[in-house]
Amino acid sequence: MLIISFTIISCNRNSIKPYSETGFALGTVCSITLYEKNTNFSFEEAFEIIQNIENKMSPVIKNSQLDQINSNAGVNPVRVSEDTYFVIEEGIKYANLADSKFDITIGPLVNLWGIGTENQNVPDAKRIESVLPLIGSQYISLNKNDKTVFLQNKNMSIDLGGIAKGYAADILKDFLLEKGFTKGIINLGGNVLTFGEKNNKIPWKIGIQNPVDSRGQYIGTIEISESSVVTSGIYERFFEKDNKRYHHILDPDSGYPVENELLSITIVAHTGIIADAYSTVAFSAGLVKGMDLLESTEKLEGIFITKDKKIFISSGLKDLFKLNSPDFTLGVF
């Protein structure tokens, strides 16, 4: 169920008073902030768009399109809507990037670990080994004409958690533009998408979460316009057992959480779906390969934070990032 509460964000006298609404969808807190009034618009209508996407693409909602695909794994293809088909098709594309550990068929592994749920645990190594053969986007069969999706092997399952929020932000932005809004911020559980600019062509200032501090504490800020900002890190969803942290970014090759030098990565891209997917792709690649990937990809930037509290910034963001934490230093790449 989607619960919505109305709030007005305070502002100074010289700025436009923004209007914001917050609700819960896609398993997280979502907010929309707008800077114009429109009598033909309701926040409820906007949140229904997010809820409709969740109702189609959630693996845990009974009879969602994704649930039907997973339930029919190895049995029958399932006809889906154009948007579900598109997101799955995009997911396969990012899985096919060189050295990518992004894979939407990671569902069996996600379910086994249960990170972020009451069933989270460290699975037995044999159980992990048993589900690894079920993971692989090459085992997804798509029929573009019929818009059907078929998982070739029984017990396979798709999880769109690494891409659906980004897509939802893009769709919501398109909807708001159609309604005549020219500036605003969409925040879907930390997946931030901005459109337009603030008053007097001032860019948006987005805080970068301190990965070793409480939520809302920032190591610095970046100034952006018309961009999506998505952060992935080991601090978001995790549990600890025997003094070891197990986070939610799972390696489809080993079956265990990705291990490298990174605490977090923040991706800046021109669409939400790209930023969402690359936040997993680049984090899993690690600092060197991840930075090489960003520098070689057009309209893609990032901020890497390492476990030794150094910050590495891609070339396109160096003049837009401001460090304000004495606990971190800028690294030289």
Which stretches of the chain score pLDDT less than 70? 1-16
For residue 159, being part of any structural domain is answered with: no
Do 55 and 179 lie in one domain? The reply is: yes
Number of domains in the chain: 3
Residue 137 belongs to a domain with what CATH number? 1.10.3980.10
For residue 80, being part of any structural domain is answered with: yes
Do 262 and 330 lie in one domain? The reply is: yes
Q: Which domain holds residue 124?
A: 72-151
54: CB partners within 8 A, 6+ apart = 25, 26, 27, 61, 164, 168
Q: Which two tokens stand for residue 247?
A: 């986070």
Do 255 and 265 lie in one domain? The reply is: yes
Query: Does the global pTM surpass 0.85?
Result: yes
What is the rounded distance in angstroms from the CA atom of residue 277 to the CA atom of residue 291?
A: 15
For residue 156, being part of any structural domain is answered with: no
Q: What is the pLDDT of residue 11?
A: 42
Residue 313 belongs to a domain with what CATH number? 3.10.520.10
For residue 64, being part of any structural domain is answered with: no
The secondary structure of 76-97 as a DSSP string is --EE--HHHHHHHHHHHHHHTS
Give residue-wise pLDDT tens across range 212-239. Answer: 988 889 999 999 999 999 999 999 889 9
How many residues belong to the chain? 333
Do 331 and 266 lie in one domain? The reply is: yes
For residue 245, being part of any structural domain is answered with: yes
Give residue-wise pLDDT tens across range 125-163. Answer: 999 999 999 999 999 999 999 999 999 999 999 999 999
Do 20 and 41 lie in one domain? The reply is: yes
Do 47 and 172 lie in one domain? The reply is: yes
Do 136 and 283 lie in one domain? The reply is: no
Q: What torsion do the CA atoms of 48, 50, 56, 61 make, to the nearest 10 degrees?
A: -90
Do 142 and 191 lie in one domain? The reply is: no
Parallel, antiparallel or unpaired: strands 244-247 and 238-241 = antiparallel
Q: Which two tokens stand for residue 299?
A: 């309209």
The secondary structure of 122-139 as a DSSP string is ---HHHHHHHGGG--GGG
Q: What is the pLDDT of residue 2?
A: 38
Do 12 and 102 lie in one domain? The reply is: no
